[in-house]
């Protein structure tokens, strides 16, 4: 099989990048997308995602982020809108924690691209963040904001430019082995491919029930807060904070509001984005409102915008990039566990290499070799 015909199911964050990488390699690649690239119904809505080098959990991601950074720049060359604004971001950690050790280790590797900021430094330079006594900051100079809708659209466009096609508003309902090939079924068509990549985000376990024990789809809320009267947001920058409760935030591009989100413990379990409850009740907001009261003296106490998004998690929080348990020639890429946007171009490249049986760098062995356990 010299140049296999490959289907990519889902052209969201990861699928659009896989499609781009396949098209760059001259593969006849076809994307299937429930909506259209850049839509807000999956894991990628809400206008911004954090790009960062400083790690809180796993140093093995550092080379993956480095490769992603290079590919983000290559993708930018194909696109008119700005895909990222890298004006720096803060990592806020508590002294003596595992997260602070990992963050300091990555800061050391980044040399002058990272700066450790004491309590006093933080108070002077970033007074709009009210740190706890035992917290300090690290400025990650090459970090910042990715614009996810544009980024996905840019990857999809770049793939199309290089010969791929995308069937938009097209839901795949079945994937099954047919001899040496794989049949992809939608409501009104079926097509045979040599190989299939499933990158269906939080929908993956509904589409591939055998994957369900390994993936936990969750509903994540993004909440936007205005400044209090008399304040503005000029002192706020994108940040991530590991403890006491994991949270992150990004000012909106026009500087009018701060978007805030919380970690895994605050996400609702769902079966699939299709059936998930998208209503937001007051108790869903308790934790983020506590965060604002405690940490952001200049923000209003009630959000001005609230939106749900959907993401799948693995137990280890390392993404599942591997063969489907029983269907040959199907690669599954899911479970990006709340951190998959920044690395998506590198992971897209990994997916293309995997499905084409090309050499995979040793640096990805912790991902492709991960022994995923059921929840
Ligand atoms: C609120 C929130 C904040 C986040 N913040 C960050 C951050 O700051 N930095 C970071 O790096 N990461 C962040 N993440 C994580 C990151 O956004 C996700 O890891 C990443 O977007 C997951 O990509 P995906 O391709 O798996 O899913 P998606 O982007 O949702 O793509 C899946 C695609 O598959 C399509 N699809 C599904 N089923 C079918 C079907 N049957 N047929 C056809 N198409 C189908 C869907 O329509 C969708 O387009 C955040 C996630 C959320 C939810």
The model's pLDDT over 135-150, given as tens digits with 9 standing for 90+, comes to 999 999 999 999 999 9
- How much is the pLDDT for 3? 82
Mean pLDDT of the region 258-283: 95
Which ligand 1 atom sits closest to the C-alpha of 14?
25
What domains sit in the chain, N to C, each tagged with a CATH number? 5-45+148-215+316-368 (3.50.50.60), 85-144+216-310 (3.30.9.10)
Residues 6+ apart with CB under 8 A from 134: 94, 95, 96
- How much is the pLDDT for 1? 55
Indicate if ligand 1 lies below 6 Å from the C-beta of 172: yes
- How much is the pLDDT for 328? 86
Which ligand 1 atom sits closest to the C-alpha of 15?
25
**Does 299 have pLDDT greater than 80?**
yes
Q: Report whether 352 contacts 298 (CB < 8 A).
A: no
- How much is the pLDDT for 43? 98
- How much is the pLDDT for 165? 98
- How much is the pLDDT for 353? 98
The model's pLDDT over 14-54, given as tens digits with 9 standing for 90+, comes to 999 999 999 999 999 999 999 999 999 999 999 999 999 99
Indicate if ligand 1 lies below 6 Å from the C-beta of 29: no
Tokens of 132: 């706890």
Kindly give the distance from the C-alpha atom of residue 111 to the centroid of ligand 1, in angstroms, as a whole number: 32
Band (244; pLDDT cuts 50, 70, 90):
confident
- How much is the pLDDT for 177? 95
The model's pLDDT over 305-348, given as tens digits with 9 standing for 90+, comes to 999 999 999 999 999 999 999 998 999 999 999 999 999 999 99
Q: Report whether 184 contacts 7 (CB < 8 A).
A: yes
Mean pLDDT of the region 108-118: 97
Indicate if ligand 1 lies below 6 Å from the C-beta of 166: no
Strand bridging mode 89-94 / 239-241: parallel
- How much is the pLDDT for 104? 98
Indicate if ligand 1 lies below 6 Å from the C-beta of 251: no
**Does 91 have pLDDT greater than 60?**
yes
Say how far apart CA 173 and CA 188 lie, in whole Å.
10
As beta bridge partners, residue 138 has 91, 116
């Amino acid at each position: 099989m010299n140049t296999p015909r490959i289907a990519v199911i889902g052209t969201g964050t990861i699928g659009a990048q896989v499609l781009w990488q396949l098209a760059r390699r001259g593969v006849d690649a076809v994307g299937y997308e429930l909506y259209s690239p850049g839509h807000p119904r999956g894991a990628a809505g809400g206008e911004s995602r954090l790009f960062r080098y400083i790690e809180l959990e796993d140093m093995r991601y550092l080379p993956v982020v480095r490769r992603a950074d290079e590919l983000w720049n290559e993708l930018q060359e194909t696109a008119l809108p700005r895909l990222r604004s890298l004006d720096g971001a803060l990592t806020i950690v508590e002294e003596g924690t595992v997260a602070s050790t990992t963050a300091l280790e990555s800061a050391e590797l980044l040399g002058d691209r990272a700066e450790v900021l004491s309590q006093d430094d933080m108070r002077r330079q970033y007074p709009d963040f009210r740190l706890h006594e035992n917290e300090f900051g690290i400025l990650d100079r090459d970090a910042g904001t990715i614009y996810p809708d544009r980024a996905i659209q840019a990857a999809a466009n770049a793939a199309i430019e290089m010969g791929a096609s995308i069937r938009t508003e097209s839901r795949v309902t079945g994937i099954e082995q047919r001899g040496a090939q794989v049949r992809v079924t939608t409501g009104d068509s079926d097509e045979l491919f040599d190989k299939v990549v499933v990158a269906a985000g939080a929908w993956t376990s509904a589409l591939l029930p055998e994957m369900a024990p390994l993936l936990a789809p969750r509903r994540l809320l993004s909440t936007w807060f205005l400044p209090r009267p008399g304040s503005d947001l000029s002192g706020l920058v994108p940040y991530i904070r590991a403890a006491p409760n994991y949270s992150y935030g990004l000012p909106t591009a026009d500087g009018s509001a701060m978007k805030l989100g919380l970690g895994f413990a605050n996400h609702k379990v769902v079966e699939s984005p299709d059936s998930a409850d998208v209503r937001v009740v007051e108790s869903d907001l308790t934790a983020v409102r506590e965060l604002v009261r405690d940490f952001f003296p200049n923000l209003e106490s009630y959000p001005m915008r609230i939106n749900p998004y959907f993401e799948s998690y693995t137990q280890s929080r390392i993404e599942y990039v591997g063969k489907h348990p029983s269907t040959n020639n199907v690669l599954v890429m899911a479970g990006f566990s709340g951190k998959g946007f920044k690395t998506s171009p590198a992971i897209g490249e990994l997916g293309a290499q995997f499905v084409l049986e090309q050499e995979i760098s040793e640096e990805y062995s912790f991902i492709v070799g991960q022994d995923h356990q059921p929840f």
